Amino acid sequence: MAADTVGLHIRPMSLTDLDEVMRIESAIYPFPWTRGNFNDSLRAGYDCWRFEDDRGLMIGYAILMWSPDEVHLLNLSLDIQAQGRRLGEHCLRWLADEIHRRGAPALLLEVRPSNHRALRLYERVGMQRIGVRRGYYPYFHGQREDALVMRCALPLVEPTVAAPAAIARTAGCGHAE
């Protein structure tokens, strides 16, 4: 199943996408997932999505794991050149709409407290902080960083501020940062 939203093309990720995924992952994170993490996610049957621009170039990806009470967003990442244009919100809203359409009642995720851009995005779409996982993420010099646990019921809240036209046209189905 492939989906298209304004200027963004979404399709399932495959093993053949992992070189591009690893290029993005290693460029944007000081502690990236390994190729094995992505390979295992695909082989386990997790929802793995690839986001492309109009030229067919990968600009991001997402990994989601289903459980009976919610869907856990394990990884949502955008290439550095795609960041800061609200494409992350666009992708997140599309993902939330897709899983809600398939019966998911809620979305759960962890985020680093130091990832201010992601925190603003998640709060903007109505996610609430529900807990902290102490020492969850690796950090510099052998240290660990906590994870904020966030959750929201689906569907996501609608944008409350004026959004770019492309996002406003698709807000009903859920996507962007």
Report residue 126 as tokens. 């109505």
Q: Which of 28, 36, 34 is nearest to 58 (CA)?
A: 28
Phi, psi of 119 (to 5 degrees): -60, -45
List residues with catalytic annotation.
110, 122
Handedness of CA 136, 38, 86, 84 (dihedral sign): positive
Contact 41, 13 (CB under 8 A): no
| Angle separating helix axes 116-124 and 87-101, nearest 10 degrees | 50
Q: Give the C-alpha separation, 99 to 121, whole Å.
A: 18
